[in-house]
A and B are shown apart, each in its own frame.
Chain A
Amino acid sequence: MEWETVIGLEIHAELNTKSKLFSVAPNHFGDEPNTNISEVCTGQPGSLPVLNEEVVRKAVQFGCAINGRINHFSKFDRKSYFYPDSPRNFQITQYDQPIISGGVVFAEVEGTEQSFQVNRVHIEDDAGMLKHFSNFAGVDYNRAGVPLIEIVSEPCLHSPKEACSYAMAVKAILQYIDASDCNMEEGSLRFDANVSVRKKGEQALRNKIEIKNMNSFSFLELAIEAEVNRQIAFYEKDPHGKILQATYRWDPEKKETVLMRRKEKAEDYRYFPEPDLVPILLDEAYIQEIREALPELPLQRERRYVKELGLSSHQAFVLTYDKPLADYFETALDITPQAKALCNWLTVEFAGRFKESGKNLVASGIPASHVAELVVLIDNGTITGRIAKSVADDMVAHPARAPAAIVAANPDYQPVNDTGEIEKLVDQVLAENPQSITDFLSGRDKAFAFLVGQVMKMTRGKASPQVVNDLLNAKIKHAAK
């Protein structure tokens, strides 16, 4: 590989506080436009911002979770720009003295654990939203003033996969500390990526392109990949050419990055300290209290699953990065200790069944106890693995029904326990396939599997594979003597 990709990510996470960053208006998504507003978040003259302490606490929790430096002094600044969704025409953000400096995020990239450096985390307020109608535009200020933390990585990500894994790990941390709903569809987690490429071994960074406002992991990965390819193609066509700094967005229809605006002149936001707010002063005792009260974090949980449950680190990662799924897993684990089997049902079987619809198991209405019950039914031999898959299909179709009840109600799901009946079928199969017996006896194991399959087919999967195995083995050996 001749080219090296350099990516820095800016992740905007809306915090799930009760009220907004600087006002008592509710912080709530999805309500009628301009209902969750106050004089502060609509920028009324005479209104003043008052910092919501809950925001500071959540930001500090995140800082502790990534082992960043929690600054004892940080302050807010005004960032000036004109846009109708910005009620004061300046955003209140933290420019040169953020609340968190540095930090590390651990992520699994294609099966390997890697660590990524965070440059800073700062607090700022979200803007409102423009709504375009046929002959006018309206502004909804419900989102204006919603607290955000912006998590800025170092330019330390070197592939779209790394960027995506890092983003997933950040999301997991936010969920574990309950700082954000991380609801991508509602825009509570949004990504901006700064992307450039350079020849391997080159010291300086080339001009970067900013891809703004991606709200899904797959868009993030696709967009960076497309952008990297575009840049490489540009430099290969024109080795002395220069890419001009610009802002792009991802067009999911065209599957390419699209130019929004050039950055010929650096935008002048005229940052200066926000005079209506006092600096955030934090003492060590406050930080220590938060640090000590941190819940289990995704990395800790992943390691626990590997160490105590014997999961592979990949299995553990797939479970833990999705906190609701990991919690679901633990609920199921209270019923059956079969951690690996459970993990497989959650992350492979059920995940596959929901993939098409875009839904997921946790939100499906299927209680964790039902999945555990399914594993128990297999484990105690009530059903075969093959029947279990059909039962799982039925569970997806009828989320409230318990697997035991599904099995009881369907004669096709009753295992054939009558050994005599199975024996007849075994005899029939052996009589019809003398060549397979010969093959097996001359050392071809596949022939045995074929014979098992034939018997299972005749029982429509209801016979215990173990019983069939045993019978076949015994009969072939007996005949060979």
Chain B
Amino acid sequence: MMHQLSARALRDEVAAGRLSALEVADYFLKRIHALDGDVGAFLRVLDARVREKARAVDEKRQRGEPLGKLAGVPIALKDNIHVEGEISTCGSRFLTNYKAPFDATVTRLIEAEDGLIIGKTNQDEFAMGSSTENSALQKTFNPWNLKCSPGGSSGGSAAAVAARMCPLALGSDTGGSVRQPAAFCGVVGLKPTYGRVSRNGLVAYASSLDQIGPLATNTDDIGLLMDVIGRHCDKDSTSLRWDAESYALEGGIQGLKIGVPWLFLEQLAEEPKKHFMAALETLKSLGASILDVDLSILKYSLSTYYILATAEASTNLARFDGIRYGVRAPEAKTLEEVYELSKEQGFGAEVKRRILLGTFVLSSGYQDAYYKKAQKVRRLIIDGYKAAFAQCDLVATPVSPFAAFEMGVIKDPLQMYLEDIYTIGINLAGIPAVSVPAGFTTDKKPLGLQLMGPVKEDQRVLTAAYAFEQAAPFAREMPPLKEVK
């Protein structure tokens, strides 16, 4: 059964000629068409395109040319990542007619390694949200419990991988948007070091925090995809001048010191705490030592994030004015009406809320109290992590205070923002962090363990996740979806 194979195994089958890329594409297309009616992960399935690319891979193999690292592997992209000529809605009504005029760098890198982009996945509108419920286009459900949210904002990508509708997917993570849905859906998700993966072709939410990250059913596949997309890119000025690194993950964690910010975790509820403690025991059994670190500065991370992210977003989204692209309000007659009505009709409530908040914190008279102060706190948070990493090699926390919640139950935006309490500081500091499955609640919802490391220590983070996953293979369990024949 192809959907039970890892991306690496699939690739090896294709490279060896035991499977054709077209067979793989058709298998997963069939699976998507059978399952996605229930899950709602995909906004668009690129049937024709993926089959055409698959044929090209097969022809390449027939010509005896060497195949790329992702040959024949279906990969889903969050809908804020451009594929030239295909619609990129970003989950927004405003962009329902927007065809991307160029490939994102990640798209180009994946296709250069013969990866197959199979579809575009649902997300919270412009990546603003933690449940994918802010998508203006459709609902996405958690494959483990179809009453529940898959998390967000990369909920479509996480759900697609969890349901094995594709072995790999890309999301974007601005405050936890890869890691939290990965945890909710029982898959692995990485937020790389800021600047490791090019943002060129990723529709910006908050430029200084956004980072594209991979989702997979196992840590090794995360490394496989990072090996392809973790490159310096001349089209992104914030891209690190840092050559590709090794993603050999077998090194183990014997002797590593893992810090836990207990003070910061005080509020953690009983059940997730129990699983987190169990995960720490597993890490200890692998030879790591656990110590307490002080990251109490993180209590300011949520408010800092919602000032800085919204400030950047208010300007990043200013371009969606109905002049050059997107859906222009048809009844608008004057310039003012084009602006006002296009935004009024094109944006959802959460996007409007964040644009207003961001505009406010940048306004003269308020900028010092909000934006500039938040910049200073961001510096303190960076320093806080640095101090912690002077004592330990990695820091461990849960990914989220809770497991997946039912659709529609969180109505208060502030309550929803709290979803990201453990993930958000990592974006402010630009450090790498992985979410790896760490057990199930009694009602069989996945929980995630988050491991983070210093800047540019993505490999260390993944090595630890890999070791953990070998010892506690929760990711191998599959959600209870109907069988595809």
3 closest Cβ pairs, A-B complex: A89-B318, A275-B207, A270-B362
**B352-377 at interface with A (beta carbon < 8 Å):** 359, 362-364, 367, 371
Chain B residues within 8 Å of A, Cβ to Cβ:
80-82, 88, 90, 95, 98, 100-102, 104, 199-204, 206-208, 234-238, 311-312, 314-315, 318-321, 323-325, 335, 339, 359, 362-364, 367, 371
Q: Identify 27 residue pairs between A and B in the complex whose beta-carbon atoms are under 8 Å apart, listed by A's number.
A: A39-B101, A43-B319, A45-B204, A46-B81, A46-B104, A46-B200, A46-B203, A46-B204, A48-B235, A48-B236, A50-B237, A51-B237, A82-B318, A82-B321, A84-B323, A88-B318, A89-B318, A90-B318, A266-B364, A268-B363, A268-B364, A270-B367, A272-B311, A275-B312, A276-B204, A276-B237, A277-B237
- Determine whether A458 belongs to the interface, using a CB cutoff of 8 Å to chain B: no
Q: For B367, list chain A residues within 8 Å (CB).
A: 270, 272
Tell whether, in the assembled complex, residue A90 and residue B321 are in contact, meaning their CB atoms are under 8 Å apart: no
The residue in chain B whose Cβ has the minimal distance to the Cβ of A43 is B319
Q: For B323, list chain A residues within 8 Å (CB).
A: 84, 139
Tell whether, in the assembled complex, residue A87 and residue B315 are in contact, meaning their CB atoms are under 8 Å apart: no
- Determine whether A44 belongs to the interface, using a CB cutoff of 8 Å to chain B: yes
Q: For A278, list chain B residues within 8 Å (CB).
A: 237-238
Tell whether, in the assembled complex, residue B315 and residue A78 are in contact, meaning their CB atoms are under 8 Å apart: yes
Tell whether, in the assembled complex, residue A48 and residue B237 are in contact, meaning their CB atoms are under 8 Å apart: yes
Known: A268-B364, A278-B237. A48 touches B95 (CB 8 A): no
Q: For B234, list chain A residues within 8 Å (CB).
A: 50
Known: A39-B102, A89-B319. A272 touches B371 (CB 8 A): yes
The residue in chain B whose Cβ has the minimal distance to the Cβ of A24 is B235
Q: How many Å from the CB of B271 to the closest CB on chain A?
A: 38
Give 1 or 0 for each of A251-273: 1 = CB within 8 Å of chain B CB: 00000000000000010101110
How far does the alpha carbon of A43 sit from the alpha carbon of B235 in the complex, in Å?
14
Q: For B371, list chain A residues within 8 Å (CB).
A: 272
- Other A-B contacts than A43-B324, A46-B82, 19 sampled, CB-CB below 8 A, are A44-B102, A44-B325, A45-B90, A45-B98, A45-B204, A46-B201, A80-B314, A80-B315, A82-B321, A88-B318, A89-B315, A89-B318, A90-B315, A90-B318, A139-B324, A268-B364, A270-B315, A270-B363, A275-B312
How far does the alpha carbon of A84 sit from the alpha carbon of B208 in the complex, in Å?
26
Chain A residues within 8 Å of B, Cβ to Cβ:
39, 42-51, 78, 80, 82, 84, 87-90, 139, 266, 268, 270-272, 275-278
Tell whether, in the assembled complex, residue A47 and residue B200 are in contact, meaning their CB atoms are under 8 Å apart: yes
How far does the alpha carbon of A88 sit from the alpha carbon of B320 in the complex, in Å?
8
Tell whether, in the assembled complex, residue B362 and residue A276 are in contact, meaning their CB atoms are under 8 Å apart: no
How far does the alpha carbon of A277 sit from the alpha carbon of B311 in the complex, in Å?
16
Tell whether, in the assembled complex, residue B318 and residue A270 are in contact, meaning their CB atoms are under 8 Å apart: no
Known: A270-B363, A272-B367, A272-B371. A45 touches B318 (CB 8 A): no
Q: How many Å from the CB of A116 to the closest CB on chain B?
A: 31
Q: For B312, list chain A residues within 8 Å (CB).
A: 275
- Please report whether the interface of chain A is mostly helix, strand, loop or mixed according to DSSP: loop
The residue in chain A whose Cβ has the minimal distance to the Cβ of B362 is A270
The residue in chain A whose Cβ has the minimal distance to the Cβ of B104 is A46
Tell whether, in the assembled complex, residue A42 and residue B324 are in contact, meaning their CB atoms are under 8 Å apart: yes
Q: For B95, list chain A residues within 8 Å (CB).
A: 45
Q: For A277, list chain B residues within 8 Å (CB).
A: 237-238
Q: How many Å from the CB of A281 to the closest CB on chain B?
A: 12
How far does the alpha carbon of A275 sit from the alpha carbon of B430 in the complex, in Å?
13
How far does the alpha carbon of A321 sit from the alpha carbon of B314 in the complex, in Å?
46
Q: Which of A39, A90, A139, A272 has the most CB of B within 10 A?
A: A272
Q: For B236, list chain A residues within 8 Å (CB).
A: 48, 50
Q: For B199, list chain A residues within 8 Å (CB).
A: 48
Tell whether, in the assembled complex, residue B237 and residue A49 are in contact, meaning their CB atoms are under 8 Å apart: yes
How far does the alpha carbon of A330 sit from the alpha carbon of B105 in the complex, in Å?
52
The residue in chain B whose Cβ has the minimal distance to the Cβ of A269 is B364
Tell whether, in the assembled complex, residue A84 and residue B335 are in contact, meaning their CB atoms are under 8 Å apart: yes
Q: How many Å from the CB of A79 to the closest CB on chain B?
A: 9
How far does the alpha carbon of A472 sit from the alpha carbon of B1 in the complex, in Å?
121
How far does the alpha carbon of A439 sit from the alpha carbon of B59 in the complex, in Å?
111
The residue in chain A whose Cβ has the minimal distance to the Cβ of B80 is A46
Q: How many Å from the CB of B22 to the closest CB on chain A?
A: 30
Q: For A45, list chain B residues within 8 Å (CB).
A: 88, 90, 95, 98, 203-204, 319-320, 325
How far does the alpha carbon of A139 sit from the alpha carbon of B325 in the complex, in Å?
13
Known: A49-B237, A50-B237, A277-B237. A44 touches B363 (CB 8 A): no
Tell whether, in the assembled complex, residue A46 and residue B202 are in contact, meaning their CB atoms are under 8 Å apart: yes
Set B81, B102, B324: member contacting A87, Cβ < 8 A? B324
How far does the alpha carbon of A88 sit from the alpha carbon of B207 in the complex, in Å?
14
Q: How many Å from the CB of B305 to the closest CB on chain A?
A: 14
How far does the alpha carbon of A90 sit from the alpha carbon of B318 in the complex, in Å?
8
How far does the alpha carbon of A95 sit from the alpha carbon of B418 in the complex, in Å?
35
How far does the alpha carbon of A50 sit from the alpha carbon of B318 in the complex, in Å?
20
The residue in chain B whose Cβ has the minimal distance to the Cβ of A84 is B323
Q: For B335, list chain A residues within 8 Å (CB).
A: 84
Q: How many Å from the CB of A74 to the closest CB on chain B?
A: 14
Q: For B202, list chain A residues within 8 Å (CB).
A: 46
How far does the alpha carbon of A82 sit from the alpha carbon of B324 in the complex, in Å?
13
How far does the alpha carbon of A45 sit from the alpha carbon of B204 in the complex, in Å?
7
How far does the alpha carbon of A164 sit from the alpha carbon of B143 in the complex, in Å?
72
Q: For A49, list chain B residues within 8 Å (CB).
A: 237
Q: How many Å from the CB of A276 to the closest CB on chain B?
A: 5
Q: Which of B90, B206, B314 has the most CB of A within 10 A?
A: B314
Tell whether, in the assembled complex, residue A275 and residue B208 are in contact, meaning their CB atoms are under 8 Å apart: yes
How far does the alpha carbon of A82 sit from the alpha carbon of B364 in the complex, in Å?
17
The residue in chain B whose Cβ has the minimal distance to the Cβ of A266 is B364
Q: For A47, list chain B residues within 8 Å (CB).
A: 102, 200-201
Q: How many Å from the CB of A331 to the closest CB on chain B?
A: 42
Set B82, B102, B362: member contacting A272, Cβ < 8 A? B362
Q: How many Å from the CB of B196 to the closest CB on chain A?
A: 15
Q: How many Å from the CB of B362 to the closest CB on chain A?
A: 4
Q: For A39, list chain B residues within 8 Å (CB).
A: 101-102
Q: For A84, list chain B residues within 8 Å (CB).
A: 321, 323, 335
Known: A45-B203, A88-B318, A89-B319. A82 touches B339 (CB 8 A): yes
How far does the alpha carbon of A270 sit from the alpha carbon of B95 in the complex, in Å?
26
How far does the alpha carbon of A464 sit from the alpha carbon of B384 in the complex, in Å?
93
How far does the alpha carbon of A49 sit from the alpha carbon of B238 in the complex, in Å?
10
Q: Which of B102, B104, B323 has the most CB of A within 10 A?
A: B323
Q: How many Å from the CB of B378 to the closest CB on chain A?
A: 12
Q: How many Å from the CB of B281 to the closest CB on chain A?
A: 41
How far does the alpha carbon of A46 sit from the alpha carbon of B202 in the complex, in Å?
5
Q: How many Å from the CB of A198 to the closest CB on chain B?
A: 27
Tell whether, in the assembled complex, residue B207 and residue A276 are in contact, meaning their CB atoms are under 8 Å apart: yes
How far does the alpha carbon of A270 sit from the alpha carbon of B206 in the complex, in Å?
16
The residue in chain A whose Cβ has the minimal distance to the Cβ of B98 is A45
Q: How many Å from the CB of B204 to the closest CB on chain A?
A: 7
How far does the alpha carbon of A278 sit from the alpha carbon of B206 in the complex, in Å?
15
The residue in chain A whose Cβ has the minimal distance to the Cβ of B359 is A270
Q: For A271, list chain B residues within 8 Å (CB).
A: 362
Q: How many Å from the CB of B364 to the closest CB on chain A?
A: 5
Known: A46-B82, A46-B201, A276-B237. A87 touches B364 (CB 8 A): no
How far does the alpha carbon of A448 sit from the alpha carbon of B190 in the complex, in Å?
102
Q: For A51, list chain B residues within 8 Å (CB).
A: 237
Q: For A90, list chain B residues within 8 Å (CB).
A: 315, 318
Set B203, B208, B319, B364: member contacting A270, Cβ < 8 A? B364
How far does the alpha carbon of A271 sit from the alpha carbon of B367 in the complex, in Å?
9
Q: For B208, list chain A residues within 8 Å (CB).
A: 275
Tell whether, in the assembled complex, residue A46 and residue B100 are in contact, meaning their CB atoms are under 8 Å apart: yes
How far does the alpha carbon of A131 sit from the alpha carbon of B406 in the complex, in Å?
53
Q: How many Å from the CB of B124 to the closest CB on chain A?
A: 16
How far does the alpha carbon of A266 sit from the alpha carbon of B95 in the complex, in Å?
34
The residue in chain B whose Cβ has the minimal distance to the Cβ of A51 is B237
Tell whether, in the assembled complex, residue B98 and residue A276 are in contact, meaning their CB atoms are under 8 Å apart: no
The residue in chain A whose Cβ has the minimal distance to the Cβ of B308 is A275
Q: How many Å from the CB of B1 to the closest CB on chain A?
A: 36
Q: For B325, list chain A residues within 8 Å (CB).
A: 44-45
The residue in chain A whose Cβ has the minimal distance to the Cβ of B320 is A45
Known: A268-B364, A272-B367. A88 touches B238 (CB 8 A): no
How far does the alpha carbon of A178 sit from the alpha carbon of B474 in the complex, in Å?
66
